[in-house]
Amino acid sequence: MLSALLVMTGIALVLGTALGYAAVYFKVEGNPLAEQIDAILPQTQCAQCGYPGCKPYAEAIANGEAEINLCTPGGDDGAQKLAEMLGREFKPHGAPVEKLKTVAIIDEQTCIGCTLCIQACPVDAIIGSAKQMHTVVSRYCTGCELCLPPCPVDCIALVEEPRTPQNWRWKYPVKGLKVVA
């Protein structure tokens, strides 16, 4: 019994040493610029930029393959931060007039509880369980529309958030004022 225990301990030490050596010897260095860019992106993994997630988009920006203004959830603020960090010219995202944030809502009468929308949501804004009603936590929803295609009964709709003093925006272009001396 003692000899078996010593043999197993010896094997564990040899394999542990080999794995430790392999971790140091075969270490893969990431692109530090891509990691800095990825830290600025909102991490919603919504794929609205045309890339499957924030990390591939950050790598494409670092390699010069993508524009810095494609991130919808990051908006102009994110593009401005990226422009400052990379020393590139700032380009506004999309149309000059901002649209209101959209959020998904689920028609609870038609929901069959298939959980396909939960699996598709990159920010875990949909809660529920199998064969039970699902609902959307609106403060976490980014409006990315990734939950719409997998729904087999089309019980999910995107609606604009109601206008409140906190999210109201002037819909006309703002002109600068002249300073009179």
Write out pLDDT tens, residues 119-169. 988 888 999 888 888 899 988 888 888 899 999 999 999 998 777 777 666
**Helices 75-86/32-40 angle, 10° precision:** 150
Write out pLDDT tens, residues 147-160. 999 999 999 999 98
| Joined tokens for residue 152 | 């087999």
| Joined tokens for residue 48 | 């609205």
Q: Please tell me the distance from the alpha carbon of residue 9 to that of residue 2, in angstroms, as a whole number.
A: 11
Query: What radius of gyration do the chain's Cα atoms show?
Result: 24
Residue 146 is given by DSSP the state T
Q: Which domains are present in the chain? A: 32-86 (1.10.15.40), 99-162 (3.30.70.20)
| 100 — pLDDT class (breaks 50, 70, 90) | low
